Amino acid sequence: MQPTSDALEFTDECCYCCYESDCCEPVLECCDDPMCEVQDQDHVQVEPPLRRTKTGTGSGSANSVLQALLFFGVAVSSVSAVAAGASDDNLVTGNSTADACAQAEASAYNEPFHIGGIFIVLLVSGLGIFGTLALGVRTKTPFFAKVLQIFKMFGIGIICSTAWIHLLPDAFSKFSSPCLPSSWQSYGSNFVGVFGMFSAFAVQLIELLAVDFKRKKLARENPDLEHTVVTGNSSAFLEHPSKDEMTLEQAIPSAHSGKNDNHDHTGVERDSELGTILLEAGIIFHSLIIGITLGVTGDDVFTSLLISVCFHQMFEGMALGVLIGNLQLSIWTKRLLCLAYPLTTPIGIGIGIAIRSFYNENDGGLILAEGIFNSLSAGILFYNTYTELMSAEVSHSGPFNRFTAGFKAACFLSMYLGASAMAIIGIWA
- pLDDT tens digits in sequence order for the chain, 429 residues long: 444 444 444 444 445 454 444 455 554 445 555 555 444 444 444 444 444 444 444 444 445 544 544 444 444 444 344 333 433 333 334 455 666 687 767 678 899 999 999 999 999 999 999 988 887 765 567 777 888 889 889 989 999 999 999 999 999 999 999 999 989 999 989 999 999 999 999 999 998 888 888 888 888 887 765 555 554 444 433 344 444 444 444 444 433 333 444 444 334 444 568 888 888 988 998 899 999 999 999 888 899 899 999 998 998 898 898 888 878 888 889 999 999 999 999 999 999 999 988 888 889 999 999 999 999 999 999 999 998 888 888 888 888 889 999 999 999 999 999 999 999 998 887
Contact in structure between 422 and 312 (CB atoms under 8 Å): yes
Contact in structure between 255 and 248 (CB atoms under 8 Å): yes
State residue 428's pLDDT score: 81
First to last CA, the chain: 82
Bridge-based pairing of strands 54-55 and 268-270 is unpaired
Which 3 state secondary structure label does DSSP give 247? coil
Which residue type does 381 have? L
Q: What number of other Cβ atoms are within 10 A of residue 122's Cβ?
A: 18
| Distance (Å, whole) CA 294 – CA 358 | 15
Give the residue from 170, 123, 139 showing the smallest Cα distance to 309.
123
Give the residue extent of every domain in the chain.
Answer: 1-59, 112-425
* Apex 257 CA angle, 255 and 259, nearest 5: 125
